[in-house]
Amino acid sequence: MKTLGCTVILLLSYVFPAVAAQVYNGCAEPPATFRSVWYIDPVNGKTAAAGGNGSQAHPWNSLSAVTNAVTGYSYPLLSTAPYRHLNAAGTAYVFATGSGAGPIKPGDEILLMSGNYGDIVIGANESELSNTAFVTVAAAPGQTPVLTSLFVYSAAMWAFDGLKVQSLSPGLYSKALIEIKDQGASYPTSNIVFENMTISSQDDVSGWTQAQWVADGRNGFVAASTAGGPDTKCISVSGSHITNVTFGAAFLANSLVFSGNEIDHFGDDGIDYGASDLSITKNYIHDNLNIGDGNHEDAMQGIIGPLPAGVTVNNYEYILIDSNTIIRQTDSNLQFPTYLQGIDAFDEEWTAVTVTNNVVITSACWGIAYSSIHSSMIANNTVVNDGILGLNCSPAISVSDKTHEGNSSTSTTVRNNLANVIEIDNLDTVEADHNVGMATAGPVFFWYVNGVTQYYSAPGTYGTANIIAAGGPESEFVDFAPSTLTYNMKLKAGAAAIKAGTATGAPTVDILGTARTVPYSAGAYAYPN
């Protein structure tokens, strides 16, 4: 949907300009300059046999021809692409690179003109399409190329920039519009970068029924490694927009960055994650729908993921979830509005997880909620009930005991958060300090002390500098008006959260990157900001 029914005020950078690639620490970065630049035009271009030579004046007409021998092209245009041909002795056919290798080489850029390029596959069955430098596929200036799907497997060093991927038809291999995977340890995939992409089922779904959502909705983005292995890794998505899809994105591959993206108007989960070494930062997730398929709705959900042979529980570690904004509803014309859980994990084991500077505005029982979490930090988040759906609970910041498969949570700190509800399963293993609760109906803080449940509702100070403020969200934020879907979550003068936090072990900057000053305030925003 392009037109919202009202204005949402957040004072955050939600219109993402074209950005430079961000990659996980130790992964390869795509170049800013190129060895050679080639052109493809599916409307006005020509095959190699008909005189296309890849120049701007005489572009080729097929992106598939880059990695495959298609009609009108004797061999793939990319020098590193394997293809079927006679061996040097002329005695047998082999599938490998050959003497007829094409002119495009690692380090080159391929610019796409406007038009539809169809289903694109980068990779080959039981073969590896590995480059020594990035091959970059990008929209030519002022052009709007469209792919109906993109499937990358057993490949390395590919960058995609400014492309639109859209279709109502299932792709060749997947319901996902973009899917990244490997073929096991012998055929890995790594260093695949996406910048400034647009990914959707179609531009406008405002007239869809729930049945149409289930039948026609596509998933957005999936990166998945073979169970238990690092065979798909170093994947990056930045500055991109995923909209009008069922699931937004799934991260089942290690060493992955997902930053500065927007996911909206989605029918199931925004993000599912089940991998280690993840960086999920500065994303904007909003406006989910109940499409009637029975899914319970999560903005970001830690999931079971693929289990290696003989393993009963995955232990995921080193995950950063920072400076994301999640709003259940910003569109007053939203079809099928429903609850939305925020950032959570109810399966597997989670170690060294950092959840900081996030804003969650929703109707659901869980705002930020983890079980079986260890050696982790949940700090300086703002979690607020929009109250629109009238549920009998407020979104809590919660550390519970065990997931369905895991062990009891240990050595985790819940600090400097601003929320309607803070709940901790056991203060003997989880530290809760300098949090600010906003008084609502029912308990604001509840946790176990020596095995006995303690409930706190009245304004005051509890435990280690945890405060229940007398006012609700209207007393804390510059503008909090769910009736008009208007939110400015910066702290207002006189808010109880101001100077209520501690600098010890807390993030030194806020959701906008503004430096925090001592004494820190609770919540995602520094004060003043």
- Confirm whether 87 is domain-assigned: no
Q: What is the pLDDT of residues 477-493, one digit of tens each?
A: 999 999 999 999 999 99
Average of per-residue pLDDT across 502-515: 98
Q: How confident is the model at residue 171 (pLDDT cuts 50, 70, 90)?
A: low
Residue 459 pLDDT > 90? yes
Give the count of beta carbons closer than 10 Å to the beta carbon of residue 434: 25
Distance from C-alpha of 449 to C-alpha of 447, rounded to nearest angstrom: 7
> SS3 for 406?
coil
> Quick check: 1 pLDDT over 60?
no
Instruction: Report the chain's mean pLDDT, rounded to a whole number.
Output: 92
Q: Is residue 48 part of a domain?
A: no
pLDDT at 15 over 60: no
Of 512, 17, 3, 525, nearest to 264 by C-alpha is 3
Reported as a single tens digit per residue, the pLDDT across 228-260 is 778 999 999 999 999 999 999 999 999 999 999
Does residue 14 carry a pLDDT above 50? Answer: no
Task: Compute the distance between CA of residue 196 and CA of residue 218 in angstroms, rounded to an integer.
Answer: 19
232 is written with which tokens? 């798909």
| Per-residue confidence (pLDDT) for residue 436, from 0 to 100 | 98
Average confidence (pLDDT) over 278-306:
96
Confidence band of 500 (pLDDT split at 50, 70, 90): very high
* Of 73-82, 245-254, 269-278, 502-511, the least confident: 73-82
Whether 213 is in a domain gets the answer no
Q: Please, are residues 287 and 246 in contact by the beta-carbon 8 Å criterion? A: no
pLDDT band at 409 (very low <50, low <70, confident <90, very high): very high
The pLDDT of residue 8 is 40
Select the highest-mean-pLDDT range: 34-48, 161-175, 381-395. 34-48
d(CA 438, CA 476): 8
| 33: in domain | no
Please give the share of the chain, as a percent, with pLDDT higher than 70. Answer: 93
Q: Which are the contacts of 3, defined by CB distance < 8 A and separation ≥ 6?
A: none
Query: 94 falls in which pLDDT band (50, 70, 90)?
Result: low
Domain membership of residue 476 as a residue range: 319-529
Does residue 500 fall inside a structural domain?
Answer: yes
pLDDT score for 172 = 65
Q: Which H or E element spans position 213?
A: helix 210-216
User: Is pLDDT of 421 > 50?
Assistant: yes
Domain count, the chain: 1
What is the pLDDT averaged over residues 77-102? 75
pLDDT in tens, 463-476: 999 999 998 999 99
Q: Return the pLDDT at 528.
A: 92
Nearest C-alpha neighbor of 25 from the set 255, 254, 316, 238: 255
* Residue percentage of the chain with pLDDT more than 90: 83
Residue 100, pLDDT above cutoff 70: no
Asked if residue 83 has pLDDT above 90, the reply is no
pLDDT at 130: 87
Instruction: State yes or no: pLDDT of 76 exceeds 80.
Output: yes
Average pLDDT over residues 278-298: 96
Q: Quickly state the pLDDT bin for 93 (edges 50, 70, 90).
A: low
The pLDDT value given to residue 124: 82
Residue 463 lies in a domain: yes
Report the length, in residues, of the chain.
Answer: 529
Residue 6: pLDDT over 50: no
* Separation between Cα atoms, residue 382 and residue 359, nearest integer Å: 5
Tell me the mean pLDDT in the region 82-103.
72
Residue 487 lies in a domain: yes
pLDDT above 70 for 206 = yes
Beta bridge partners of 192: 158, 235
- Whole-number Å distance between alpha carbons of 508 and 518: 10
Assigned token pair, 504: 């010890």
Res. 97: pLDDT tops 80: no
Give me the pLDDT at residue 326, please. Answer: 98
pLDDT > 80? residue 303: yes
pLDDT band of 92, cuts 50, 70, 90: low
Residue 273's identity, in one-letter code, is Y
Q: Is residue 283 part of a domain?
A: no
Q: Is 256 within 8 Å of 223 (Cβ atoms)?
A: yes
pLDDT over 70 (residue 95): no
Residues forming beta bridges with residue 188, ordered by sequence position: none
Find out whether 423 and 447 touch, Cβ atoms under 8 Å: yes
Structure tokens that stand for 26 in this block: 């130790």
The helix, strand and coil proportions of the chain, stated in percent and rounded to the nearest 5, come to 5, 40, 55
| Of 83-87, 203-207, 473-477, the least confident | 83-87
pLDDT, tens digit, 9 for 90 and up, residues 47-72 = 999 999 999 999 999 999 999 889 99
- Report cis status (omega within 30 of 0) of the bond before 145: no
